[in-house]
Chains A and B, each alone.
Chain A
Amino acid sequence: MKLSNGKRLERLHDRYQNGDLSRRTFLTLTAAAAAAVGLDMPWMRQALAAVEEVRFDGWGGTVQDAIDKYAFKPYTAKTKIKVVQGTFGDEDEIITKIKTAKPGDYQVIHSSGVNYYIKYVNGGLTSEINEANIPNMANVLQPMIDPFRKLTPKLSAVPYDYGTTGIAYNTKVISPEEAKEKGAALLLDKKYAGKVGGYSDMTTRVWYAALATGQDPNNLKDMDAIWAKVRETRDLAKKFWSSGAELMDLLSKGEIVVTDAWSGRVAALQDQGHPIGYLDPAGSYAWMEDMLILKGSPMAECEELINFMLDPATAIAVAEGQSYPPSLDPTKVKLTEKIEKLPAFDKTGTMKSLTFADPVYWATNEDAWTKQWNRISKGA
């Protein structure tokens, strides 16, 4: 079948949207074709126009403040490309928005690691990064990249930071000794009924129920026992929080005295002088976050932005600001003392001290478990 010039250009455009072509190659080919045949496709003027801004969506709060201050502002000063920012409290929320938007409306997402990466892949929302455009990826921890590459050999995301969801407690009510002794069981301690909190998220709830029942979170055998424990925590809980801001509000106002919590947000509260302790019990839920480039984004600019963010000076400043260790390999890049003291920091660079969720195992059960958790959270 003979292709028309218009069709060829449309295909070229699709390849560019998918990230198969760099922006430069795409523009060169488009301009050459247009000059040769006098074509003018509806999207050409937009594509040929210089990219003046990149859209970023993240978790807001102290985390995004740090990224904005130490990465985006210097990036804009250097390149004149503005980073337009949005926030979300729950990543499913932004996936819904992306689904209803046209490709390119949302571009870079501060995503929650491989568990969510699968959702973007399944939804056909991912791009293909040209890793040659991100030379700073050479410093990124290989154990953090591997799980992504297992899912898509051509990456759409670059790991950026990691942390744990451990136990945060009010030191005025619970002593560090008691917290250390009871660990994850604190969430099920009837003594604190009505003062317990937790993240309103299936993975976190099931993970901590697995620890409470002595099961391997990446190979659960008795789901009835898991749901029974989830219900037990629910009945003791005052509120399941749904954003970092809400977590910090509940803890700082004393509404709850113990909860599972994101290590960085707790570190931020501690910096503000709140009497909050934090511990990672054995098998604590470790997670990583990545910078995900969505299909339809201006790839070259997004890659340049991510490369800038991964520059050791930038990544270290962001990590100190957001209180989460960076994805930089500590055996390759000299990190600061402050970062080395952050919860969850792995000085070996192997990540073996942390327990991450097996993305394939969890993705297989995600739909059914999320549905069940949503029901239990509402009293079922």
Chain B
Amino acid sequence: MKRRWTLYDPRLAWLLVAPVLLLLIFFLVLPIAVMAAYTFFTFVTAGVETSALTTANWHEFLTDSYYAGFLLKTLRVGAITALLCGVLGYFPAYFIWATTFKHKWLLLLLLIVPFWISFTIRTFSWINILGEQGVINVALLKLGIISEPLPMLYNEGAVILGMLHFLLPYMILNVYVSLEGIDRTLISAARSMGCTSAQAFREVTLPLSLPGLAAGLLLCFVLAAGSYVTPQLLGSGRDALFGNLIYDTIMSELNWPMGATLSIVLFLVLGFFAAIYTRFMGMSQIVKGLGG
């Protein structure tokens, strides 16, 4: 007898998930697999490689300290950016959550307004702000506060600033969503049991919002560490990150096998941090418990 479909039929679940699964396979798993295969190809000359298998690319990556140094620098810049996003993003998120302003949606709208403008144009705009002929330097010079323009552009500070501009909304939204999930009666309960506002925040609100903060930190870290455009536009050559190294290897040296190797390395390293986050999410339950 032919089996009939039921509401929670596993076949139905597979059917529903199939389009997404296929998309993931064809547009994520397969390209990564091709890249992984490319890491074993032999580079002949610029733009020419053969499918003769070799471990030379991996050997070069593992034995040349230049790559390790670049990776560490990228992780450092990513971590600094993520931490700054956390510090700077928590307060606006808390404010939006706590405000009694009846048009709260307007504040949320402000968060997504920057996304209406091209990311590249937003990044370019910093050149007109931080440059020697930029708004800040011109204003300070005209006010007589400085005699020489301040070197604010084409350095690591400018790169981190550009990434903060780009990533802050992600952090704020993550924290805000986490805060929104907190049962406000818990805070009232804490206050009624004698907690000050600061204590209630420290003991209740902050621990319960940590998963959102952690998610924001991970997202900002991964996006910052994988960034290419911001260091290219706002930094000097010295401020290049691992993404720029991959770009140059593929686009300038036309060395696809080595470029693929570096891409897979970045993918694995950032994947490692995502795995750590998964562990952290589990630990957040312990933090919640301690907070209680």
Interface-central residue, B46, B48, B248, B249, by most chain A CB under 10 Å: B46
Taking CB atoms, residues of chain A closer than 8 Å to B154 are 238-239
Tell me, rounded to whole Å, the shortest Cβ–Cβ distance linking B273 to chain A.
23
- Interface size bracket, B side: 20 to 34
Contact A366 B46 (CB under 8 A): yes
Known: A122-B45, A123-B48, A253-B131. A378 touches B251 (CB 8 A): no
Known: A371-B253, A378-B244. A253 touches B132 (CB 8 A): yes
- Which of B127, B132, B133, B245 sits near A378, CB closer than 8 Å? B245
Tell me, rounded to whole Å, the shortest Cβ–Cβ distance linking B52 to chain A.
17
Contact A239 B252 (CB under 8 A): no
Q: Does A218 contact B (CB under 8 A)?
A: no
Taking CB atoms, residues of chain A closer than 8 Å to B240 are 377-378
Contact B236 A119 (CB under 8 A): no
**Chain A residue at minimal CB-CB distance from B64:** A375
Tell me, rounded to whole Å, the shortest Cβ–Cβ distance linking B137 to chain A.
10
Taking CB atoms, residues of chain B closer than 8 Å to A96 are 47, 250-251, 254
Contact B252 A378 (CB under 8 A): no
Taking CB atoms, residues of chain A closer than 8 Å to B249 are 374
Tally of contact residues, A, Cβ under 8 A: 31
**Chain B residue at minimal CB-CB distance from A364:** B45
- Which of A93, A240, A254, A380 sits near B251, CB closer than 8 Å? A93
Contact B254 A95 (CB under 8 A): yes
Taking CB atoms, residues of chain A closer than 8 Å to B181 are none
Q: Does A234 contact B (CB under 8 A)?
A: yes
Question: CA A371 – CA B248 in complex, angstroms?
Answer: 9
Question: CA A52 – CA B255 in complex, angstroms?
Answer: 35
Question: CA A239 – CA B251 in complex, angstroms?
Answer: 19
Tell me, rounded to whole Å, the shortest Cβ–Cβ distance linking B190 to chain A.
51
Interface-central residue, A99, A242, A379, by most chain B CB under 10 Å: A379
Which chain B residues in 190-242 approach chain A with CB under 8 Å?
A: 232, 236-238, 240
Tell me, rounded to whole Å, the shortest Cβ–Cβ distance linking B247 to chain A.
9
- Which of A93, A240, A371 sits near B237, CB closer than 8 Å? A240
Tell me, rounded to whole Å, the shortest Cβ–Cβ distance linking B135 to chain A.
12
Question: CA A130 – CA B45 in complex, angstroms?
Answer: 29
Known: A238-B236, A367-B253, A370-B253. A123 touches B132 (CB 8 A): no
Known: A119-B46, A237-B236, A370-B46. A255 touches B251 (CB 8 A): no
Tell me, rounded to whole Å, the shortest Cβ–Cβ distance linking B146 to chain A.
15
Task: Tell me how many residue pairs across A and B have CB atoms closer than 8 Å.
Answer: 72
Contact B237 A200 (CB under 8 A): yes
Contact B237 A377 (CB under 8 A): yes
Taking CB atoms, residues of chain B closer than 8 Å to A377 are 237, 240
Question: CA A374 – CA B249 in complex, angstroms?
Answer: 8
Contact B132 A255 (CB under 8 A): yes
- Which of A99, A194, A370 sits near B151, CB closer than 8 Å? A194
Which chain B residues in 143-181 approach chain A with CB under 8 Å?
A: 151, 153-154
Taking CB atoms, residues of chain B closer than 8 Å to A240 are 236-237
Q: Does A105 contact B (CB under 8 A)?
A: no
Taking CB atoms, residues of chain A closer than 8 Å to B236 are 237-240
Contact A99 B47 (CB under 8 A): yes
Q: Does B61 contact A (CB under 8 A)?
A: no
Question: CA A366 – CA B253 in complex, angstroms?
Answer: 9
Tell me, rounded to whole Å, the shortest Cβ–Cβ distance linking A11 to chain B.
25
Question: CA A239 – CA B238 in complex, angstroms?
Answer: 10
Question: CA A95 – CA B46 in complex, angstroms?
Answer: 10
Q: Does B105 contact A (CB under 8 A)?
A: no
Known: A92-B251, A253-B131, A367-B253. A123 touches B47 (CB 8 A): yes
Question: CA A330 – CA B35 in complex, angstroms?
Answer: 51
Tell me, rounded to whole Å, the shortest Cβ–Cβ distance linking A255 to chain B.
5
Question: CA A375 – CA B255 in complex, angstroms?
Answer: 14
Q: Does A90 contact B (CB under 8 A)?
A: yes
Contact A380 B66 (CB under 8 A): yes
Q: Does B97 contact A (CB under 8 A)?
A: no
**Chain A residue at minimal CB-CB distance from B241:** A378
Contact A90 B252 (CB under 8 A): yes
Taking CB atoms, residues of chain B closer than 8 Å to A238 are 154, 236
Q: Does B94 contact A (CB under 8 A)?
A: no
Tell me, rounded to whole Å, the shortest Cβ–Cβ distance linking A328 to chain B.
31
Contact B237 A378 (CB under 8 A): yes
Can you offer 19 A-B residue contacts whose CB atoms are under 8 A?
A90-B251, A90-B252, A95-B47, A96-B250, A96-B254, A123-B47, A238-B154, A253-B133, A254-B133, A255-B153, A366-B46, A367-B45, A367-B46, A367-B253, A367-B255, A374-B245, A375-B66, A378-B244, A378-B245
Which residues of B pack against A, CB within 8 Å?
45-48, 66, 70, 127, 131-133, 151, 153-154, 232, 236-238, 240, 244-245, 248-255
Given contacts A122-B47, A378-B238, 15 further A-B contacts (CB under 8 A): A92-B254, A95-B254, A96-B250, A96-B254, A119-B254, A237-B236, A238-B154, A254-B132, A254-B133, A255-B131, A366-B46, A377-B237, A378-B237, A379-B238, A380-B66
Give me the 5 closest cross-chain CB pairs, A-B, nearest first: A377-B237, A379-B238, A123-B47, A253-B133, A374-B248
